[in-house]
Amino acid sequence: MGLVGAVWGLAGLSALLVFAVYRLWGVVVAGMEWPWGWQHIALASVNAVFMAWSEGWRGFQRSFSPRVAARLKWLRDHPSTVRAVFAPLFAMGYFGATRERLIGIYALTGGIVVLIVVVHLLPQPWRAALDIGVVLGLTWGIVSTLVCAWRALGGETYDVEPDVA
């Protein structure tokens, strides 16, 4: 049950991220049909670099992805029915985590929801210019999560704290 839960956790989280990239890419493509001025291109360029650094490298690769992988390894080694059934949520830290991790994940989720609502109100091509960076960051996140999970589940040691409570 532990390995099945870990695989389900990785597959569920990956599917969520891939679906987000798919949906946002559609917005970006639709935005390309609008005329772009220099200010749209500048915003898209700066935002792509910023999101690659902040969301991709700093958010996913340095923090979220290693923690997800550590929690998947912990789930594999300490299986339970509830954690296996809700493995994607467990892997992300929505339950069974330390108080600090719970506060962090719920605050981050709230902030993301607010940003989604605000960006959704923007007209094209401004929205596309911002969503390009999000697509880049999420794609980086998918790759880094898969690499971290491969390392965590494929080896005996993985020196990242899973923050399990």
Question: Beta-carbon neighbour count of residue 63 at 10 Å?
Answer: 14
Grouping H, G, I as helix, E, B as strand and the rest as coil, residue 164 is strand
List the chain residues with pLDDT less than 50. Answer: none
* Residue at token pair 């569920």: 12
Instruction: Please check whether residue 93 is in contact with residue 22, taking contact to mean a CB–CB distance below 8 angstroms.
Output: no
- The CB density around residue 139, as the number of other CB atoms within 10 Å, is 20
DSSP designation for 123: P
pLDDT given for residue 157 in this prediction: 85
pLDDT at 6: 98
Partner residues linked to 97 by β-bridges: 164
Residue indicated by tokens 């599917």? 15
**pLDDT number for residue 156:** 75
